[in-house]
Structure 1
Amino acid sequence: MDRKYLTEFGLLVKGHQLQLCYPQDLSYLKREGKNRYHLYMICRIPYISFVKDSLEVTTGYMKFSIKVEKEEGDFSYIDYKIKRDNEAESNYDSFELDESLRTIVIKKGETTLHIRPTYFYPKEDSNILLPTEILYVGQSYGNEGERSAVSRLSGHETLQKIVQEHSFNRNFGDIAVILIEPEAKIVSMTNPWIPSQVTGKNNELHEKEVYETMSEESYKSVVNITEAAWIRYFRPYYNEKFKQIFPNIKHTSYKTYYDLDFGSVMVDLDFGCIGLEAYNEHIAPINHPIAEFPFHSSEDRKNMFDLF
């Protein structure tokens, strides 16, 4: 079959905000009210630390070095020199590295700040992207967005299991979390040269229904379908659902898109914006994966992005 409607609709979801952190830092993010994130990926990254005795703080700058573990047991080193605003920062009491060399501890009166090396590396302009193994994809939303990924991960059984197994097996690197907030847009496509079953007034009524329904549709359905799409794409080791079959009309969490006869969902995630390169046993290293999943088989319906 060719098209059903003259105008077909798809969903495009991009990662609007991304943040890399360690599980140990989730409590800080929770206290800071970082509730905008509703998707997350548990991953493995190389061990990153500050270089001993490299921290130097003057009235004009802060210097330090970071070392990044390589698979073969060696390290790469990166030097930093960051300008300081003398007037704004002159009242800090002290800067020092902790014993683990994983944190710069900054004290200011009764306030203590902890800065991890991941705050500086990786970044978008890094020459070397950080290899990041995707182990698990999940989401947290609640009924009206009251649950965030940060609150969900604070007592996450799978995260605890991954951390424990990683430690027990003495695997390379560290366990970390990528927090993601998706941003969705409706994509429409009209091609009058491809035969369609529904045209004219009935097609216009379909267009109206799509826009009215999607304007009222809970953001939860976007989170649900994006989670499922990335699970299907990466097929992470610790996930169970959606790894083999997606999309599927039997999956009620994103049923709205079937009800509105959407043609396809496309997900776009730029890991490069935080200096990462994602991979696992199923996916070769990639810093900007884009994946498209049609809602209908090629036998039932022509893909909406097949223009000719």
Structure 2
Amino acid sequence: MSANRNLENLISLNARHLSLKQQDTFTDSEITTELRKLPLHIYLICRSPKILLDMSNSLITTENIKLNFYTNLNGIRKDIFVSTLNRADQQIKEVDCPYPYNYFHAYSDNKSFHSEGKTNLLFKHFSAQNDVYHDEANLEVLYVGQAFGKNGSRITIDRLQSHEKAQKIYFDTQNKYPDYEIWFLSLTFEPTLMTVFDPRSFYNPDQMHIDLEHQVKIESTPISLDQQITILEAALITYFGTSEFNKEYLGFPSNKHISYKEVYDLDFNSVGFELSTYSIWSKLFSKTVDPNFLHYKKFFLHSDTERKEILQRLEE
């Protein structure tokens, strides 16, 4: 890295598409066909309370739907009532949710099919419609992984269909946290590149020439997709502190792992990510990160104090 260079190059990876599924859905051909339309190369294995549905204490009218969701953590039942409008154009007449009360079937007139799915997702959907959040919708991040293959041919569902770590987390949850369940959050990220020039370089033609040459190198040598995925995986592992199950990239970014060598060779100053989970109406958290819809972290790749100060002034 040139100590005299007066510019900062940043790459930020921003979440664009999120898919929250459980492992049994990955064998559904219709679901997998839809998922394959997106480059879902990053996934988070998460844990959340089981959200069950008690239809014996729910009410459906032509105007409104009031459903009795509940959790049963440590054998203590907590009821959560969620209401929403019963839309005239897609009216629900009846909902069935037999034991074990975690999968529903909704019907229109004459018992015709309306919808079906996990009660946990229905709970999030109805809560989001009312702009009401319940902490039971939180997702604890336990593991961060990637699926890429040759030229991006693999996506997360290919990896998760036979995943030893996912099975370990699943059985660990079943044994130690039977009132919880495992969810897989698959993600698509898009990169944003930004360059910040130190204004002092404009008064030094020689320095400006050096900076512009370096900028041409950056713009003409894009970071490969697999490199972006690896950077993102390493950043998320460090951010969420998932060392209980993740064993690689724990030293990011101080450990200059060969898997993300490109960003060092191109002399990037920092990398970061932005992740919003409003679309799935769940806050992510971990042992080291508080629950939130928005997660953002920037990692400085070098210890150059002056470069940090430039970026910090920009943020102000």
Q: TM-score, normalised by structure 1?
A: 0.83
Contact 2:249–2:257 (8 Å) recurs in 1: no
How far 1:222 sits from its partner (Å)?
1.4
Alignment of 1:110-189 (within 5 A): 114-122=116-124, 124=128, 125-129=131-135, 130-189=137-196
Gaps of 5+ in 1: none
How far 1:79 sits from its partner (Å)?
2.2
Which range is displaced more, 75-84 or 181-190?
Answer: 75-84
Contact 1:4–1:196 (8 Å) recurs in 2: no
CA distance in 1, matches of 2:286, 2:76: 20
- Give the 3 Å change call, closer, same or farther, for CA 229–164 of structure 1 in structure 2: same
Q: Pick one of 246, 259, 277 that aligns with 1:271.
A: 277
Which range is displaced more, 230-239 or 190-199?
Answer: 190-199
Question: Number of residue pairs matched?
Answer: 301
Q: Which has the higher contact order (CA 8 A, sep 6+)?
A: 1
How far 1:3 sits from its partner (Å)?
5.7
CA distance in 1, matches of 2:46, 2:249: 18
- Give the 3 Å change call, closer, same or farther, for CA 112–83 of structure 1 in structure 2: closer
How far 1:190 sits from its partner (Å)?
1.3
CA deviation profile, 1:159-197 (whole Å, cap 9, x unmatched): 111111111224442111222111210011112148999
How far 1:242 sits from its partner (Å)?
1.6
Q: Pick one of 285, 288, 296 that aligns with 2:302.
A: 296
CA distance in 2, matches of 1:196, 1:153: 54
RMSD: 3.3
How far 1:149 sits from its partner (Å)?
0.9
Gaps of 5+ in 2: none
- Give the 3 Å change call, closer, same or farther, for CA 71–21 of structure 1 in structure 2: farther
CA distance in 2, matches of 1:151, 1:286: 29
For 1:32, the aligned partner's letter is T
Q: What secondary structure sits across from 1:229 in the alignment? A: helix
Contact 1:270–1:287 (8 Å) recurs in 2: yes
- Give the 3 Å change call, closer, same or farther, for CA 275–107 of structure 1 in structure 2: closer
Contact 1:47–1:68 (8 Å) recurs in 2: yes
Q: TM-score, normalised by structure 2?
A: 0.81
Alignment of 1:98-113 (within 5 A): 98-106=98-106
